[in-house]
Amino acid sequence: MTLFAWLSSILVAVIVLTVTAFGLWWERKLAGRMQSRLGPTIVGPIGLFQPIADLLKLVQKEPIIPQRADRALFWLAPPLTTLFALLVAALVPFGPKLAPANIDVGVPLIIALGGLALIPVWMAGWASHNKYALLGAMRAVAQSVSYGVPLVLTALVPVILAGSMNLNSIVAWQHRHHWLVVWPVFLGLPAFILFILAMLAEANRIPFDIPEAESELVAGVSTEYTGMHFGFIYLAEYVHTLVGSAVASTLFLGGWDGPFGPSVLWMVLKTCLLFSVLYWLRWSLVRLRADQLMALAWKWLVPAGLALVLLAAVWTQTPWGR
Amino acid sequence: MEATPAWRKLPYRRLELYEPEGDLMTLQLGPQHPSTHGVLRIKLHLDGERIVKAVPFPGYLHRAVEKLCEQLTYVQIAPIVDKNDYVAPMTSEQAIILAIEKLLKVEVPRRARWLRSALAELQRVASHLLWLGTMTLDLGGALGGGGSVFVYTMRERELVLDLFEGLTGSRFHYNTHTVGGNRHDVPAGWAKDMHAALDLIEKRIPEYETLTQNNRLFVERMRGIGVLEPELALELGVTGPNLRASGVDHDLRRDAPFHAYDEVATNVITAKAGDCLARTQVRVAEMKESVRLARAFIDGLPEGPLVSGKPIKLPGQFKVNSGQVYAALESARGELGTFLVAGAGTSPYRLKIRPPSYHAISALPYLLPGHTVSDTVAILGSLDPIMGEVDR
Amino acid sequence: MGYLLDGLKSMWTTALNAIRPPFTQEFPKVLRPHPERYHTSFALLHDETGDEACTGCGACARICPSQVITVKLGKRESAITQKKRGYADDFTLDLTACLVCELCVQVCPTDAIVMLKVPELPGFRREDLVLSMPRLYENEKSKPLGWSNATKLMAMQDPKAGAAKPEPSKETAPAPAAAGAAS
Q: Is C73 on the interface with B (CB under 8 A)?
A: no
Residue B12: band (very low, low, confident or very high) from pLDDT cuts 50, 70, 90: low
pLDDT-derived band at C178, boundaries 50, 70, 90: very low
What confidence category does residue C174 fall into, taking pLDDT thresholds of 50, 70 and 90? Answer: very low
Which of A35, A143, A197, A215 is the best substitution to test chain B (most B C-beta atoms within 10 A)?
A215
Quick check: C134 pLDDT over 50? Answer: yes
Assess if CATH 1.10.645.10 describes domain B65-391. Answer: yes
The confidence score (pLDDT) of residue C180 equals 37
Asked if C100 lies within 8 A of B173 by C-beta distance, the reply is yes
Q: Would you state the pLDDT for residue A162?
A: 80
CA distance B332 to B355: 11
ipTM computed for the complex = 0.81
Best probe of the B interface among A35, A216, A222, by most B CBs < 10 A, is: A216
- Count Cβ atoms below 10 Å from residue A95 Cβ, excluding itself: 17
Collapsing DSSP states into helix, strand and coil, what is residue A13? helix
Q: Say if C101 is an interface residue toward chain B (CB within 8 Å).
A: yes
Residue of chain C minimizing CA distance to B309? C177
Across the interface, whether the CB atoms of B105 and C179 are under 8 A apart is answered: yes
Q: Is C17 on the interface with A (CB under 8 A)?
A: yes
Q: Are B344 and B321 in contact (CB under 8 A)?
A: yes
Evaluate whether B180 touches B105 at the Cβ level (below 8 Å): no
**pLDDT, mean of residues C130-134:** 84
- The HSE-up count of residue A61 (CA atoms within 13 Å, CB side) is 16
Q: How confident is the model at residue A308 (pLDDT cuts 50, 70, 90)?
A: confident
Q: Is A216 close to B218, i.e. CB distance below 8 A? A: no
d(CA A289, CA A139): 10
Buried b (16+ CB within 10 A) or exposed e, B18-43: bebeeebeebebbbebbbbbbbbbbe
pLDDT value of residue C164: 43
Instruction: Please compute the mean of the pLDDT values over residues B58-63 and round it to a whole number.
Output: 86
C46 within 8 A of C52, measured Cβ to Cβ: yes
Report the C-alpha gap between A31 and A39 in whole angstroms: 7
pLDDT reading at C98 higher than 60 = yes
Residue of B nearest to C3 (CA): B216
- For range A91-113, the mean pLDDT: 78
Reduced to 3 states (helix: H, G, I; strand: E, B; else coil), residue B22 is coil
Q: How confident is the model at residue B8 (pLDDT cuts 50, 70, 90)?
A: low
Q: Give me the residues paired with residue B50 across strands.
A: B47, B372
Q: How much is the pLDDT for C173?
A: 38
Instruction: Report CB contact under 8 Å: B152, A36.
Output: yes
Using CA atoms, how far apart are residues C10 and B215, in angstroms rounded to an integer?
Answer: 8
B377 inside 8 A of chain A by CB: yes
Chain B contact for C17, CB < 8 A?
Answer: yes
Contacts of B27 in chain A (CB under 8 A): 131-132, 135
pLDDT band at B22 (very low <50, low <70, confident <90, very high): low
pLDDT at position B4 is 62
Please report the residues numbered 143 through 172 in chain B whose beta carbons come closer than 8 angstroms to any beta carbon of chain C: 145, 148, 152, 155, 158, 162, 165-170
The pLDDT of residue C146 is 80
Closest CB to B307: pick one of C16, C157, C165. C157
List C-alpha distances in Å: B229 to A143, B238, B367.
34, 11, 10
User: What average pLDDT does this structure show over B45-71?
Assistant: 84
Chain A positions touching B373 (Cβ under 8 A) are 135, 216-217
- Residue C168: CB atoms within 10 A of its CB come to 7
- The answer, yes or no, to whether the previous bond of B31 is cis (omega within 30 of 0) is yes
Query: Is the pLDDT score of A13 beyond 50?
Result: yes
CB contact under 8 A, C17 and A34: yes
Minimum Cα–Cα distance from C17: chain A residue: A34
Element (H, E) at B256: none
Q: What's the distance, CA A4 to chain centroid?
A: 26
Q: Does B142 touch chain A (CB under 8 A)?
A: yes
| Closest C-alpha to B364, from B386, B340, B380, B345 | B380
Instruction: Express each pLDDT in C106-122 by its tens digit.
Output: 888 888 888 888 876 67
DSSP string computed for A23-40? HHHHHHHHHHHHTTS---
Find chain B residues with C-beta within 8 A of C100's C-beta. Answer: 170, 173, 175
Query: Cα A313 to the chain's mean position, in Å?
Result: 27
Minimum CA–CA partner of B147 in chain A: A283
The answer to whether C181 contacts B104, with C-beta atoms less than 8 Å apart, is yes
Residues of A in contact with C10 (CB under 8 A): 284-285
Q: Say whether C11 and A37 touch across the interface (CB within 8 A).
A: no
Q: Which of A77-86, B86-95, B115-124, C71-80 has the lowest mean pLDDT?
A: C71-80
Closest alpha carbon within chain A to B207 = A284
**What's the whole-number mean pLDDT along residues A29-53?**
83
The answer to whether residue B200 neighbours chain A at the CB level (below 8 Å) is no
Q: Measure in Å the smallest separation between the Cα of B266 and chain A Cα atoms.
A: 33
- Tens-place pLDDT, residues B335-388: 888 998 988 788 888 888 888 988 988 888 888 888 888 888 888 888 888 888
DSSP string of B114-151, one letter each residue: HHHHHHHHHHHHHHHHHHHHHHHHHHH-TTSHHHHHHH
pLDDT in tens, A163-181: 888 888 888 777 777 777 6
Question: Residue B171: which of B186, B184, B183, B160 has the closest Cα?
Answer: B160
The predicted pLDDT at position C121 comes to 67
- Is 0.90 topped by the overall pTM? no
Chain B CA closest to residue A136? B49
Instruction: Please report, as a single letter, which amino acid is at residue C30.
Output: V
How near does any CA of chain C get to the CA of A238, in Å? 21
Give the strand pairing for B50-57 and B25-29. Answer: unpaired
Residue of A nearest to B137 (CA): A215
Q: What is the DSSP-derived secondary structure letter of residue A47? A: G
| C6: nearest CA partner in chain B | B215
Domain ranges of chain B: 6-57, 65-391
Which residues contact residue B255 at a Cβ distance below 8 angstroms, ignoring those fewer than 6 apart? none
End-to-end CA distance of chain B: 39
- How many A/B residue pairs have CB atoms within 8 Å? 99
Residues 6+ apart with CB under 8 A from C100: B170, B173, B175, C39, C40, C115
Whether pLDDT at C181 is above 50: no
Question: Alpha-carbon dihedral of residues A153, A157, A158, A161, nearest 10 degrees?
Answer: 150
Are C37 and B106 an interchain contact pair (Cβ–Cβ within 8 Å)? no
pLDDT of B334 over the 70 cut: yes
Taken in order A135, A136, A137, A139, the sign of the CA dihedral is positive
* A276 contacts in chain C (CB < 8 Å): none
Contact B169 C115 (CB under 8 A): yes
Nearest residue on chain C to B162, alpha-carbon basis = C35
Chosen from B156, B374, B375 to mutate, greatest number of chain A CBs within 10 A: B374
Contact B110, B182 (CB under 8 A): no
Per-residue CA distances from B340 to B85, B99, B244 (Å)? 18, 7, 27
Contact A281 C7 (CB under 8 A): yes
Least confident of A15-29, B145-159, B291-305: A15-29
CB contact under 8 A, C163 and B304: yes
Contacts of A289 in chain B (CB under 8 A): 220-221, 372, 374-375
User: CA-CA distances (angstroms) from residue B3 to B7, B17, B154, B265, C18?
Assistant: 12, 18, 47, 39, 57
Within A163-226, residue ranges assigned H as helices are 167-176, 185-202
> Which residues in chain A have Cβ-Cβ distances shorter than 8 Å to B140?
206, 215, 285-287
Q: For residues A141 and B309, which has the higher predicted lDDT (pLDDT)? A: A141
| Contact between A218 and B34 using a beta-carbon 8 Å cutoff | yes
Using DSSP, state whether C66 is helix, strand or coil: coil
What is the least distance, in Å, from the CA of A131 to any CA of chain B? 7
Measured CA to CA in angstroms, residue A239 lies from A82, A145, A244, A266 at distances of 7, 20, 8, 19
Tell me the pLDDT tens digit for each residue of A246-280: 888 888 887 777 777 777 788 888 888 888 888 88
CB neighbour class for A4 (10 Å; exposed up to 12, middle 13-18, buried from 19): exposed
Q: Does C177 lie at the interface with B, CB-CB under 8 angstroms?
A: yes
Please tell me which residue, A89 or B275, carries the higher pLDDT value.
Answer: B275
CA dist., res. A126 & res. C33, Å (int): 52
Query: pLDDT tens for residues B300-325?
Result: 888 888 888 777 777 777 888 788 89
Cis amide bond preceding C33, omega within 30: no
Average pLDDT over residues B59-88: 86
Please list, residue by residue across B146-155, b when 16 or more beta carbons sit within 10 angstroms of its beta carbon and e when fewer do: bbbbbbbbbb
Question: Average pLDDT in the C31-48 region?
Answer: 83
Question: In angstroms, rounded to a whole number, what is the distance separating the alpha carbons of residues B17 and B2?
Answer: 19
Which residues does residue B44 pair with via DSSP β-bridges, in sequence order? B27, B54
Q: How buried is A115 (Cβ within 10 angstroms: 0-12 exposed, 13-18 middle, 19+ buried)?
A: middle
Selection from C181, C164, C182, A227 nearest residue C173 by Cα: C164
CA distances from A308 to A154, A186, A192, A321, B60 (A): 7, 9, 11, 14, 55
- CB contact at 8 A, A254 and A39: no
Distance from CA of A283 to the nearest CA of C (A): 8
Optimal mutation site among A28, A36, A299, interface C, most CBs of chain C within 10 A? A36
Q: Which of B81, B170, B208 to mutate to test binding with chain C, by most C CBs within 10 Å of its CB?
A: B170
* Contact check, Cβ <8 Å, C23/A32: no
Decide if B324 touches A, using CB distance below 8 A. no
Say whether A280 and C17 touch across the interface (CB within 8 A): no
Inter-chain CB proximity A38 and C24 less than 8 Å: yes
Distance CA A290, CA A288 (A): 7
